């Protein structure tokens, strides 16, 4: 069964033996989205949970768009 794009590593391998995968693409995209959302709108009043949810929604939207474009 083929892994979903968002579940594949976004970074190289880590760990003492360099055999543990780093962040997934979904995690890396969500991290970048959360940074951008919080930096762009500090007045939103979002708590951590709402900001995290919005970041995941944005990451999933990017992954879906990438899948459609292939």
pLDDT of residue 39: 80
Which is more confident, 28 or 70? 28
- pLDDT tens digits, residue range 3-56? 676 677 677 666 666 666 678 888 899 999 988 888 876 666 777 788 899 999
pLDDT of residue 62: 93
**Domain ranges in the chain?**
5-69
First to last CA, the chain: 19
SS3 22: coil
Handedness of CA 56, 57, 60, 65 (dihedral sign): negative
Model pTM score: 0.72
């Amino acid at each position: 069964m083929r892994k979903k794009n968002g579940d594949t590593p976004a970074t190289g391998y880590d760990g003492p033996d360099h055999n543990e995968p780093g962040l997934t693409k979904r995690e890396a995209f969500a991290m970048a989205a959360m940074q951008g959302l919080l930096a762009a709108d500090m007045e939103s009043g979002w708590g951590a949970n709402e900001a995290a949810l919005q970041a995941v929604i944005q990451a999933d939207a990017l992954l879906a768009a990438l899948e459609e474009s292939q």
